[in-house]
Every structure is written in C-alpha cells, then in structure tokens.
Amino acid sequence: MSILHTTLRSLTIAVAAVALTGCISLFPKSKPAGLYRFGHVAVASSRPATEKSFGVFKAPTVFTRSAMSDRLLAVTDGEAAYISGARWVSPAIVLFDEAVARAFEGENSRARLVTRGEAVKAAMSLRLEVRSFETDYVNGPKAPPEVLVEIRAVMSRNNDRALLGDQVFVARVKAADNRLGAIVPAYDTAVGQVLSEIVTWVSDAEGKVSAS
C-alpha cells in the first residue's frame, strides 16, 4: 500500500467529520504519526580543522511553502502529496536552520554565524533559499524514492553590498527502500551534503571580504 496521503482528500474528510460529529479528536483510534528529524548527523570533512576567522550574518531562510511545515512532502508524476503517518518533530524550516547552525559550528568552517545584534561585526551576509525539499517518487509510488534538496545561496560583502557569490546547490539521495526508516536517513544525507558544500563555499570566499 502506498504511504502517500493526498492533502486535499484529508482536508475534505476532516472538515466533514467536524461538521457531523463536532468531536475534538477526529480519529481517536488512529495510529499516532511517527516523529522524525533530520540535520543532526554531521558530515565528515576531509579538510583539516580551522579556526573561525570571520563573521557571517545569515538572513532569514526562505523556504518553499509546501515543505516548510512538519509534513513530509512527496511528489509522484508531478502530483504533490504528504507522506501519511509521519511528521518532523519541528517544522522543516526550524530543523533546517538548526542544521545550518551546526554546519557552521563544525571544524570545516572558517566562518562564524553571528546573531542579528552582532550583524555590524559580520564581514558578509548569507541568504539561503530552499527551493526544493521533497521526496521524489521518480520510479512510481512503490519504488524507493529520491530525496531532493535544492538550495540557492547568495553571499554579499557588508561594507559595500558587493555580490560575492550566487550559486545553487543540489543533492539527490536515493532511499534504500520505500519505508520511512529509509527515507528519513536520505534526508539527513542530502541536507548534510548540501550544507557541507555551502560551508566550504562560504569559507573559501574569505579572501574576497577584504577586497575593495
């Protein structure tokens, strides 16, 4: 049986149940959704440990609306739905920002993320736009899917607002099976790969910070 659950159908059933019963709990005997998380597994780096040598202010993350909540978005033949019986422990945008913070705290990063109050001390600004964050059933709803994470990253120098870089980072990781126990680790891997590349990209831009 497919683990996909169409949102519109769910919403229609839920509204009808409320109208007919007025119950607080729509499906009191249904199995609770499993709670999952991503971004807590660090990707090993082949680069030597480095000291934090410059500050970066990260603007608020822009996240695709359909995937920013605690639902796991899936796409099959262009049709979007949510995976039944699964939730992220927090909205995806929150877990993603936590993963970004951990990535820049790692040994692979020469950059240190600064808070809004420290923004004046930052050498550059970084904006992340999460364009795709989904489970793609490229070979049909019963085959192991691919997790797609696509992020556009834009760097600018703070003293003169000069553009330092604008690049799209993409990771596609195939799940070992069409099970949540295999799909969630694929999210971990995809997020880790993309953030590792972004951290390296930002760190390598250090020489551009002092350029006039």
Which two structure tokens, joined as six digits, stand for 181?
A: 């126990």
Band (42; pLDDT cuts 50, 70, 90): low
> Can you give the pTM of this predicted structure?
0.79
CATH of the domain at 47: 3.40.50.10610
Whole-angstrom distance, CA of residue 136 vs CA of residue 74? 6
Domain that holds residue 29: 4-209
Helix then strand then coil, in percent of the chain rounded to 5, is: 30, 30, 40
Residue that is written with structure tokens 């420290």 in the block: 118
Q: Residue 90, CB half-sphere, CA atoms under 13 Å: how many?
A: 10
Average pLDDT in the chain: 82
pLDDT at 12 over 90: no
Q: State how many domains the chain has.
A: 1
Rounded mean pLDDT of 119-138? Answer: 91
From the number of C-beta atoms within 10 Å of its C-beta (0-12, 13-18, 19+), residue 135 rates as buried
Rounded mean pLDDT of 128-145? Answer: 96
pLDDT tens digits, one per residue of 150-176:
999 999 998 888 999 999 999 999 999
From the number of C-beta atoms within 10 Å of its C-beta (0-12, 13-18, 19+), residue 89 rates as exposed
Whole-angstrom distance, CA of residue 106 vs CA of residue 50? 9
pLDDT at 129 over 70: yes
Rounded mean pLDDT of 71-95? Answer: 95
